[in-house]
Structure 1
């Protein structure tokens, strides 16, 4: 802030500098030992322990993760399934410690996938519970969501069609839970879009199918009213309309969307995304059913684009181009 003296970092003491120096020297020596072992192709349990100590200090050493995997596969115990199971269970416990230190480490997640795929008896259900706990700490972490999708894929490999549908339904319920906690969770919306087609396929008839669409739109409306300018719910809204194959239902849903946005704009008149979505919905309606959008509604679109030029000046060129194109297509209505 202006007028306030900037706080400076306190200089480390002599003891602190000495401790830092010793830590750096220890790390460099350990790194040198691991790299020398790798160059000499040392594949022993002692070498494995050395890589563990180094990775505990720095999870981003992808070369060391690769070397660690090499060591495992060269050990005599690797050929015995029971011993391999025990070794890799211990490895998963070590990785859990690493995750808590750095959940965003690509190399750690890759190594965990390798360990699970190498297990004679992997516990995929356990992994699903683990990643649920991790997402409860950091609900938007895309590493966790990517890993969850991987685990679900593995679970579905080991069950019949009914079992796969059950897994999809459970995952769909999980995304509902996450979105209800945080409607701005982009990863949860994205995952939901991957699962909803499978949920639709479970519908026994058209009324049940349309009922599922209605539930989705109800959830979207709740998210939109919670945060009108959060883009995630709007993107899912548009995606959902895009997969609606029933033309009559799609036109009805677009009309419902127009009515909802108008109500919303009465409360948030300068809210950017509702304005953009209202224009998009009316354009889509006209494309679906030419002549269904009135002259007043076309003028409403152009008025909104004029307001958007003031509200969202960063994209003013886009709104000018849209106004010009729509005026030409709609017979010069201004």
Structure 2
């Protein structure tokens, strides 16, 4: 390194280097032996506690081995289905997590009682399986601390969670329920890395399961399936805009819980955006929630317009904070598309058209002002060219249409200079061969 005085090599430093290499070679040899043993078990189709312990050793050293995660799930499923007695006879070693378990947990060593009832057997197997799942949740939690963006770890963790039984009404109201605890854990992970999309995907899956538990633990599930048994249940948040939720008055408590869940998520995404505008996942979360939430709350056209205006003001702050952040521009474009695609069959068509023109003109004015402050911002230019084109399609007056299209073409010409790597696309847009 520049400015750092080179230290002369000594016999002591050479010896330390040699010792370090020896230790590294020993670690590598140990790892390769563990890996060879695992693949031997895999070829043999070995799916017992010994194979499970071997996958634990390997994944502790290298959690990026997706083959090991995949086989571990096969091993777990085999153990889940096996009787306690068979498990005991085929187990030569306890699994690595045995010493970490609660001393009150059921032990497979007392499975030789001939008088055990089938109900007791099922109960003990369930306790054993829950212990194994809890072990894997601990394993993945430790792995995620060091490797927060490894897909295979997140995938295995979600698989473990889905192995728990479907909720009952009492589960959802219990703060210590596994899915509530998981949501709190994911929140802590997203506090450390707010833009980790694996964490956001996991959060969405958890929220979807919580919504499903609300449905399954209520009479709404039975009445809905009776009404149309062939209908596939909608996922959350699309469930909010279903006819059963929007129009059904008999399920007010269910609707209230689902709306509360959606509002909580909306508030969470806003907190993340306010702490850092450059959070694509948080913006995306709002695009998933808002349309269904508006429909579920049966907002009037005026109320929806007010909500859109509020979102436009929010994204305006983000645009001025960092004009180069594409996630902000994607969200702004989504809002404009919502504005143009709103169903207006039951309202004044002329008023709707005026509203669209006015909003587009206002947004173009805002972006033009920003473009003058940031003349090298390609996202300002792309949005201006696009919105001028949209505005031209709304105008009835031919002169206004021509003027707006001309302005769009001028900005596209500017983009060829600003962003030469994509000049072919901009030329296609100018020639009408491509679309925004």
The equivalent of 2:292 in structure 1 is 198
Q: Which residue of 1 aligns with 2:421?
A: 314
* TM-score with structure 1 setting the length: 0.87
Runs of 4 or more consecutive aligned structure 1 residues displaced over 6 Å after TM superposition: none
Segments of 5+ residues of structure 2 without an aligned counterpart are 7-12, 88-121, 168-176, 215-253, 343-351
In structure 1, the partner of 2:73 is 69
Counterpart selection for 2:277 from 183, 192, 206: 183
Task: Call closer, same or farther: CA 1:34–1:248 in 2, change over 3 Å.
Answer: same
Moved more, 212-221 or 313-322: 313-322
TM (normalized to structure 2)?
Answer: 0.67
- Contact 1:84–1:119 (CA<8 Å) still a contact in 2? no
1:81 to 89, 114, 126: 126
Aligned to 2:303: 208
Q: What does residue 119 of structure 1 align with?
A: 164
Q: CA deviation at 1:155?
A: 0.8
Contact 2:143 2:153 in 1 (8 A): yes
Report 1:256-275 matches (<5 A).
Answer: 256-275=362-381
Looking at structure 2, the residues matched to 67 and 272 of structure 1 have their Cα atoms a distance apart, in angstroms, of 48
Greater radius of gyration (CA): 2
| Contact persistence 1:168–1:198 (CA under 8 A) | no
Conserved in 2, the CA contact under 8 Å of 1:124 and 1:151? yes
Aligned to 2:173: none
State the alpha-carbon separation in 2 of the partners of residues 74 and 233 from structure 1: 47
Partner Cα separation in structure 2 for residue 181 and residue 171 of structure 1: 16
Rounded to whole Å, the distance in 1 between the matches of 2:179 and 2:188 is 14
Q: Distance in 2 between matches of 1:146 and 1:92?
A: 17
How far off its partner does 1:163 sit?
Answer: 1.9
Decide which of 131, 149, 156 is 1:104's aligned counterpart.
149
Work out the number of aligned pairs and report it: 322
In the alignment, the residues of structure 2 paired with residue 170 and residue 63 of structure 1 have an alpha-carbon distance, to the nearest angstrom, of 37
Preserved CA contact (<8 Å) 1:272 1:311:
yes
Q: 1:40 to 1:320 in 2, by over 3 A?
A: closer
- Cα distance between partner residues in 2 of 1:56 and 1:247: 61
Q: CA RMSD in A?
A: 2.7
Q: CA deviation at 1:322?
A: 3.6
- Preserved contact between residue 203 and residue 209 of structure 1 (Cα < 8 Å): no
What is the distance in 2 between the residues matched to 1:96 and 1:24?
Answer: 25
Indicate the SS of the match to 1:13: helix
